[in-house]
């Protein structure tokens, strides 16, 4: 706020700046106090939305000594204050000392002054609130006599974490235009994706999902991320996967478990290597049991983290409770450390998920054993009934809030969360899933959170698909989860 000071002086009926009688000088001073009161009243009206500060504060002309006090960067009115107890006072001007200050920026919402005024503080004046919004938003506004016309690029870091989490968030802004990032995703600068193929179908009850990584790549995932988002990808190829026909089934309560754990260990090693290079791992399945490798790899680097599980199913069975013996229905329980000794492996961090940091989204098919287990753990479950009642966005935001905040945040996407009318080529389809737009909105909310450190996208089955529609959908949803927008 622009102000000026009255500094008391002693005298014998005369002021220091002339021979004007004291009585006349006092009247002269009072006239300026009245002008100041009018200016202050104008400022209050501006704070109430009637007008902005540059309209409310009148320029005060100090005819004495030929000095004019404006709101320029040369002379600024500072706080009115009468020093001393005598009847005489002298008006004097205090030169400002401009300085720059960066206002606090939170980790999701960044806003830039509508008027495109470069933040500049004068002398000892300070701002109580950031300069955001439009004139009259109950905020002190600094008014400069010259607007910043030129465009300048600014890098704003809106979130930082330790060196092991690779969670720096940065946005490049071109100053000079109205900008609001409140509704935009804030993704890490120069994000690099490590693609890891896991062509496994031993954990599922149907053959065909082992071709999922090829179907997703054939739908041009790498090119789409580069062209739409400028995201560089590094394809690490596929891990070695056994073939069901030449592999012993083993224990029927957890079919092919040793072979599945061996493949997950390969995935975990590649995930760990990607994190050591600052890359974001994206595992292409394969059935959902490959997510155990993703989570173990992340936990080996960072410690137990949080998980957002987007799936029609709970995947919370154990060898004792599973009605089918298919491991892809046990993977989440195993990652929680509840799968039993059969899932233990040297060098693995289990549980890989921190207690109270698990959210399930899009659920519509649960076995009885899964329902019982959910009563014992602190998990947030959003069924399709919840989505119908309160909407995709609210459900997803609450799911992310519950699962994030641990050592890492992993997003695992099973395409059977989407309705089979939209995603026909999935391993275990269930009617009544997310629509095309609902699925995209859910992924857009993931991107807006700017929390995800790693991803899986699984259960694409080209054998059951129509012209690779589900493979293409997987590419589109991943793009949305990484920041793609309509506008």
Strand arrangement, sheet containing 305-310: 232-238, 192-198, 280-285, 454-458, 409-414, 305-310, 353-363, 379-383
> Would you say residue 280 has pLDDT above 70?
yes
Indicate the range of 133-147, 204-218, 338-352, 457-471 predicted with least confidence: 133-147
Q: Are residues 256 and 167 in the same domain?
A: no
In this prediction, residue 486 carries a pLDDT of: 79
- The arithmetic mean of pLDDT across residues 244-271, rounded, is 95
> Would you say residue 207 has pLDDT above 60?
yes
In this prediction, residue 77 carries a pLDDT of: 39
Q: In the listed set 62, 92, 122, which residue is the last one of a domain according to the structure?
A: 92
The token pair at 313 is 């199913």
Average model confidence (pLDDT) across the chain: 75
Q: Are residues 153 and 106 in the same domain?
A: yes
In this prediction, residue 21 carries a pLDDT of: 53
Q: Are residues 155 and 44 in the same domain?
A: no
The tens digit of pLDDT for each residue in 161-182 reads 433 333 433 333 333 333 333 3
Domain assignment present for 172: yes
In this prediction, residue 102 carries a pLDDT of: 39
The tens digit of pLDDT for each residue in 3-18 reads 434 344 444 444 444 4
Q: Enumerate the active-site residues.
A: 288, 311, 313, 315, 328, 414, 416, 459
Q: Are residues 358 and 279 in the same domain?
A: yes
> Would you say residue 111 has pLDDT above 90?
no
How far apart are the C-alpha atoms of 412 and 442, rounded to whole Å?
13
Domain assignment present for 236: yes
Domain assignment present for 72: yes
Q: Are residues 389 and 337 in the same domain?
A: yes
Q: Tell me the residue range of the domain where 281 lies.
A: 192-481
In this prediction, residue 206 carries a pLDDT of: 86
How far apart are the C-alpha atoms of 226 and 486, rounded to whole Å?
16
In this prediction, residue 284 carries a pLDDT of: 98
Domain assignment present for 243: yes
Q: Are residues 52 and 115 in the same domain?
A: no
- The arithmetic mean of pLDDT across residues 324-350, rounded, is 96
Cis preceding-peptide flag for 23 (omega within 30 of 0): no
> Would you say residue 72 has pLDDT above 50?
no
Domain assignment present for 487: no
In this prediction, residue 263 carries a pLDDT of: 98
Q: Are residues 166 and 255 in the same domain?
A: no
Q: Number of structural domains, the chain?
A: 3
The tens digit of pLDDT for each residue in 282-315 reads 999 999 999 999 999 999 999 999 999 999 999 9
Pick the more confident residue, 462 or 144: 462
> Would you say residue 235 has pLDDT above 60?
yes
> Would you say residue 115 has pLDDT above 50?
no
Q: Are residues 165 and 84 in the same domain?
A: no
Q: Are residues 167 and 118 in the same domain?
A: yes
CB distance 145 to 54 below 8 Å: no
Q: In the listed set 136, 166, 184, which residue is the last one of a domain according to the structure?
A: 184
pTM here? 0.64
Q: Are residues 312 and 242 in the same domain?
A: yes
Q: How confident is the model at residue 205 (pLDDT cuts 50, 70, 90)?
A: confident
The tens digit of pLDDT for each residue in 40-57 reads 555 445 444 444 434 433
Domain assignment present for 13: yes
Q: Are residues 137 and 27 in the same domain?
A: no
Q: Are residues 210 and 296 in the same domain?
A: yes
Domain assignment present for 486: no
> Would you say residue 200 has pLDDT above 50?
yes
- The arithmetic mean of pLDDT across residues 24-28, rounded, is 57
How far apart are the C-alpha atoms of 24 and 203, rounded to whole Å?
97
Q: In the listed set 61, 77, 92, which residue is the last one of a domain according to the structure?
A: 92
């Amino acid at each position: 706020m622009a102000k000026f000071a009255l500094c008391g002086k002693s005298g014998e009926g005369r002021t220091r700046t002339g021979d004007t009688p004291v009585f006349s000088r006092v009247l002269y001073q009072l006239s300026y106090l009245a002008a100041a009161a009018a200016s202050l009243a104008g400022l209050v009206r501006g704070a109430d939305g009637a007008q902005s500060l540059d309209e409310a504060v009148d320029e005060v002309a100090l005819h004495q000594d030929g000095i004019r006090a404006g709101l320029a960067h040369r002379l600024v009115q500072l706080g009115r204050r009468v020093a001393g107890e005598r009847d005489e006072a002298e008006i004097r001007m205090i030169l400002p000392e401009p300085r720059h200050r960066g206002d606090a920026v939170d980790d999701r919402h960044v806003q830039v002054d509508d008027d495109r005024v470069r933040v500049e503080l004068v002398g000892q004046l300070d701002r109580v609130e950031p300069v955001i919004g439009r004139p009259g938003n109950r905020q002190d506004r600094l008014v400069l006599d010259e607007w910043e016309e030129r465009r300048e690029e600014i890098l704003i870091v809106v979130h930082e974490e330790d060196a092991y989490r690779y969670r720096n968030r940065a946005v490049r802004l071109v100053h000079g235009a109205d900008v609001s990032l409140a509704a935009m995703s804030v993704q890490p600068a120069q994000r690099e994706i490590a693609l890891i193929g896991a062509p496994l179908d031993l954990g599922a009850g149907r053959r065909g999902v082992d071709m999922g990584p090829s179907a997703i790549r054939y739908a041009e995932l790498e090119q789409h991320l580069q062209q739409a988002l400028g995201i560089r990808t590094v394809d690490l190829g596929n891990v070695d996967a056994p073939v069901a026909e030449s592999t012993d089934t083993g224990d029927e309560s957890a079919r092919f478990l040793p072979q599945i754990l061996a493949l997950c260990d390969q995935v975990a090693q590649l995930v760990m290597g990607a994190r050591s290079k600052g890359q974001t791992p994206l595992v292409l399945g394969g059935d959902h049991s490959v997510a155990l490798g993703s989570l173990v790899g992340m936990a080996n680097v960072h410690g137990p983290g949080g998980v957002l599980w987007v799936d029609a199913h709970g995947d919370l069975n154990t060898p004792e409770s599973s009605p089918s013996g298919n491991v892809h229905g046990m993977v989440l329980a195993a990652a929680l450390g509840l799968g039993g000794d059969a899932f233990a492996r040297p060098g693995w961090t289990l549980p890989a998920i921190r207690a109270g940091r698990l959210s399930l989204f899009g659920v519509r098919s649960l076995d009885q054993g899964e329902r019982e287990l959910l009563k014992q753990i602190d998990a947030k479950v959003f069924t399709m009934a919840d989505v119908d009642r309160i909407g995709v966005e609210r459900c997803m935001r609450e799911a992310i809030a519950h699962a994030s905040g641990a050592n890492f945040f992993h997003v695992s996407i099973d395409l059977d969360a989407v309705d089979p009318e939209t995603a026909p080529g999935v391993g275990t389809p269930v009617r009544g899933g997310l629509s095309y737009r609902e699925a995209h909105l859910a992924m857009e909310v993931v991107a807006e959170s700017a929390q995800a450190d790693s991803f899986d996208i699984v259960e694409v089955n080209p054998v059951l698909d129509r012209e690779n529609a589900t493979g293409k959908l997987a590419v589109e949803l991943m793009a949305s989860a990484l920041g793609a927008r309509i506008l």
